[in-house]
Structure 1
Amino acid sequence: MHYFVSSALSSIALLLTANLPQPVIAQAPPIRAYQQKATDDARKAQVLDQQQKSAPTRFDLQQYPISDRHLTHWQESLWAIGVLAPEKEYALQALENVMRLATANNLSDPQKAIIDTAFQVGHQLYTLKPAVYSKLRQQFLRTINDSTDPMWVAIALSALSKAPIYPELKPNSGRTGDRSQQATQINKLTQKVKQKFPNWAQDPHLKTTFQTINQNINNGKNLDLSRASLPSLKDLLAWEIAPQQAQMYVFCRPNRDVLCLSVLKDGNGKFVQQGKQLWSAPLLLQSIHNLDWNFTNGRTPQGIYRMEGVSRQPDDEYFHAYGQFSLVNLFVPFESGVTAFLPKQKGRFTGNLEAYQALLPASWRNYAPIQQTYWAGNMGRSLFRIHGSGAAINFFSNKSAVVSNQNFDWNATLGCLSALEIYDDRGSLLKSDMPKILDALQKVGRGKVEGYLVVVDIPSDADQPVTKEEIMKYSLLRL
């Protein structure tokens, strides 16, 4: 696993490995109706900045060798390719040049970090924009054949398993036989990886990637089977992870293109009302890189998070990434920085899987998807937040491929839970859900954020967001 990340990249991207402000008690901050960085001129300047950072000259290997010295340069440039998704051969070549190093020996940590970025962006463009980037298939296959790094091999296998059958590339595609052939090819690659890494069951990236691929194949064939495997939501909604602790539930669809729905329960087990209705707030839990939950910057994992404090936005430094409002801090098992993952037990969660399972109702303890936060923390994922966004809703060129048109006002992230925050061309705030979320958490926490958040995917025949009515029918909620 590779953790060396440039702070410069963190500040320009939605990358939460940046040094955020110190956690503080929850307070709904005053709303700034005007944001200079949200004006039309500022938006154009942001796009121009990305165009400059993705210019062909930035990828000249003689001028900018892939070395420790050029870590920030390469990460910023590769990120910009991901933002703009240019249909240019030079961008493809740039990714190939970096990904080719995945089979090299004696790489430094900064070099590994550059390769990490290339694989994340390459995964995004290969799976979402095949007109140019389908040629990355050879680099992914080369990685599977020759790389000794299990994480890069896992990302390569994930990308190949997700590659859709594109009519513009294969005019006769889309038939059942084509998809069956693709599944057969992925199964062969999976067996090759297992032979290459005989201890794959002890490597969390490989193990979870195999599980995800298998689930996608089986669930795609049988939605009823997927639905039947979901434990009782009544049990989950009635359960207390710890006494006198608020609990927020975020219910999603397996297709994270559509919105999730959050509801909130106070420390007494009573669901919060908004007027005479169940309090709720829509959130988007999608990865702009189209990565699964088990990779850094992938989708938000299902499972239990400790909710503890907020990180304030003292100025405009991080406005583009997070918007103007405070961020709600979420912690996964094994993550440092939490005061107490479990009440009356200081520090991070360090228990085994059985200890994590004990935080769940009995009917949920053997349900693998609800264990994702445990394994994500084990693999080093961290710094999850609930936050808004100061970026324009069309900032990411590939956004329409990972976010449904019906909720295009929400921006995808790199693993965080995205709340609505939109501005007009003059920089005036039109709407934001963060004040509502912060206010509700402050009230149930008596002035501070403290409790748990649980993310669960609910399968459905239609790719439509989860509704309040759907949640209420699972239990006689106490309002």
Structure 2
Amino acid sequence: MTLLRRTLLVLLTFVLAACAPLRPQQPAEKRYTAAELLALKPADLAWPATSTDGERALREAALAGIRARLALPPGPERDAALPALFDAIAQYNAEADAARPLLLEALPTLATRDADTQRALLTAAHTLYPAEAAPLLWPLLPQLTASKPFAIAAYTLLQADPGAAPRLLALLPQQFPAWADDPRLTALMQRLQPAVAAPPPLAELLAAPLRPGYPVIVSLQRLGRQQMGLALVRAADGRFVRDAAGQLFASPQLALARSGLAGTITNGNTPQGLFTIVGSGTATNPNIGPTPYLHSKLPVEATPAEFEHVDATGAADWSEALYESYLPESWRAWAPIKEAWLAGRAGRDELLIHGTTLNPAYYAGSAYFPGTPQQGCLISNEDWDAATGRLLASRQLALAQVYAAASPRADLAGYLLVVEVGQPGAGPVTREEAQALVDAAGR
């Protein structure tokens, strides 16, 4: 491999780091108290890569890396380069047609590949080529002996043809008799079985105390996540935040991952359900940038004591019943609201509430534009100065500051509730829709 090509691959790997700012080998990040967060102004923050020149340089390097990988001859080096290739294609929405033959050629060989490669290439199939991949996935399914790749393949088949559900429903328990013990397969089985009841009254969930005295971010999202949702803030006193004129605070927020996979799958959508919030910090991920994120954690990722915001002494072990104890009784049997519980059991972590340095133009024409999906976090748009890369306006900073002002706690402890409303294709969640839901909750 040439030095130039090796340099491009290293650069691209760095640029495309996933939603994971807390890796031990990375430098220490800045953590914020509520007072420090409230004192920030957009002009305090800058990210040179968001300037016109900086963004162009990164994009050109990324595209050069994509083309270098596409030019590799068949063999181990190209095989090893495929996961990063498809990550880059999905992020920059470029060269998908040129890379399609490489993915379709690799799929029939996946049974002989390691689990990480299986996951990466099956995720690429779901993200970029579901219809073309589907005929190759049916004969592959019986050879996928781990639950994660099997589930990704099954979701891809459903993406290509929703009518595949009965066939998958028959196959899953045959291949995995103990499927009910696996959170990924449990979630997949729920997807395969048609809903038999309407959800409980949303007003009861929005009014539920969760744990009294803590603020809550409520993220209202569409089924399928293809449209922008809205983030609301419920203060520690249980009332939703409004401005001086009485208008409900409601900020656009995207809960869609680039992969579009279920929330129990690595790099899938933000799971529906309850998270805890344990503070605020700045990320080292270049796609997130310098704007402070709110540090949300799933069940299991957070210990029961951390989730509860109490001392660890005498804390209970995690159980489904403990998770349900945060919910109003009417919601405790509603399986979709437990996706966060299943996702935590499946090992998902570091799903943060953050801003973005990605150029929305990469996703022009999408239903969720101007959203910039990443790897499963909750993302708010930001405006950056094209000449200097300085932050001009940030929905993320506004959300974080409204949340901080709604809390009596310096450590920013609280909760995040992600809940789906309406129907797929209904368009972005509107302020009027959110207001009606809050009014119904009496909050």
2:331 aligned residue (351, 359, 364):
364
Q: CA RMSD in A?
A: 2.9
The code of the aligned residue for 2:301 comes to E
Tell me: CA distance 1:474–1:363, structure 2 relative to 1, closer, same or farther (3 Å): same
8 Å contact from structure 1 (residues 255, 463) kept in 2: no
* In 1, Cα distance between equivalents of 2:398 and 2:171: 50
**What is the DSSP-based 3-state SS (H/G/I as helix, E as strand, rest coil) of the residue aligned with 2:307?**
coil
2:413 aligned residue (440, 446, 450):
450
The code of the aligned residue for 2:337 comes to I
2:53 aligned residue (27, 37, 41):
41
- Give the number of aligned pairs: 417
Are 1:253 and 2:222 counterparts? yes
2:396 aligned residue (406, 410, 434):
434
* In 2, Cα distance between equivalents of 1:444 and 1:268: 8
Tell me: CA distance 1:200–1:96, structure 2 relative to 1, closer, same or farther (3 Å): same
The code of the aligned residue for 1:352 comes to S
- The Cα shift of 1:424 comes to 4.9
Match of residue 429 from structure 2: 465
Instruction: Please list the CA deviations of residues 134-192 of structure 1 after superposition, one character each: whole Å capped at 9, or x if unmatched.
Output: 3322332232132212211111111111116xxxxxxxxxxxxxxxxx61x43123312
8 Å contact from structure 2 (residues 187, 339) kept in 1: no
Match of residue 209 from structure 2: 240
The code of the aligned residue for 1:31 comes to P
- 1:95-134 map, 5 Å: 95-104=103-112, 111-127=114-130, 134=131
Instruction: Please list the CA deviations of residues 261-302 of structure 1 after superposition, one character each: whole Å capped at 9, or x if unmatched.
Output: 222222222322222222222211111112121211111111
**What is the DSSP-based 3-state SS (H/G/I as helix, E as strand, rest coil) of the residue aligned with 1:152?**
helix
TM-score, with structure 1 as normaliser: 0.79
8 Å contact from structure 1 (residues 341, 349) kept in 2: no
Are 1:270 and 2:226 counterparts? no
Tell me: CA distance 1:338–1:190, structure 2 relative to 1, closer, same or farther (3 Å): closer
Match of residue 26 from structure 2: none
**What is the DSSP-based 3-state SS (H/G/I as helix, E as strand, rest coil) of the residue aligned with 2:310?**
coil
* In 1, Cα distance between equivalents of 2:236 and 2:226: 32
**What is the DSSP-based 3-state SS (H/G/I as helix, E as strand, rest coil) of the residue aligned with 1:64?**
helix
Percentage of pairs with the same residue: 22
Match of residue 299 from structure 1: 269
* In 2, Cα distance between equivalents of 1:92 and 1:414: 22
Match of residue 322 from structure 2: 355
Instruction: Please list the CA deviations of residues 97-146 of structure 1 after superposition, one character each: whole Å capped at 9, or x if unmatched.
Output: 54444312xx6xxx43233222212210024xxxxxx3322332232132
TM-score, with structure 2 as normaliser: 0.85
The code of the aligned residue for 1:368 comes to A
Instruction: Please list the CA deviations of residues 27-54 of structure 1 after superposition, one character each: whole Å capped at 9, or x if unmatched.
Output: 3334247542112222222222222222
8 Å contact from structure 1 (residues 311, 326) kept in 2: yes
The code of the aligned residue for 2:111 comes to T
- 1:70-109 map, 5 Å: 73-83=81-91, 84-89=93-98, 91-104=99-112
Are 1:211 and 2:180 counterparts? no
* In 1, Cα distance between equivalents of 2:438 and 2:185: 38
2:176 aligned residue (186, 189, 197):
197
8 Å contact from structure 2 (residues 248, 435) kept in 1: no
2:384 aligned residue (405, 423, 439):
423
* In 2, Cα distance between equivalents of 1:382 and 1:95: 28
Are 1:139 and 2:136 counterparts? yes
The code of the aligned residue for 2:411 comes to K
8 Å contact from structure 2 (residues 254, 378) kept in 1: yes
**What is the DSSP-based 3-state SS (H/G/I as helix, E as strand, rest coil) of the residue aligned with 1:473?**
helix
* In 2, Cα distance between equivalents of 1:457 and 1:329: 21
Tell me: CA distance 1:212–1:14, structure 2 relative to 1, closer, same or farther (3 Å): farther
Are 1:329 and 2:337 counterparts? no
Match of residue 198 from structure 2: 229
8 Å contact from structure 1 (residues 38, 424) kept in 2: yes
- The Cα shift of 1:201 comes to 2.3
**What is the DSSP-based 3-state SS (H/G/I as helix, E as strand, rest coil) of the residue aligned with 1:448?**
coil
- The Cα shift of 1:241 comes to 1.6
The code of the aligned residue for 2:398 comes to K
* In 2, Cα distance between equivalents of 1:294 and 1:7: 29
**What is the DSSP-based 3-state SS (H/G/I as helix, E as strand, rest coil) of the residue aligned with 1:248?**
strand
Return 5+ residue gaps in structure 2 as ranges: 1-8, 24-28
- The Cα shift of 1:9 comes to 7.2
The code of the aligned residue for 2:261 comes to L
Tell me: CA distance 1:473–1:267, structure 2 relative to 1, closer, same or farther (3 Å): closer
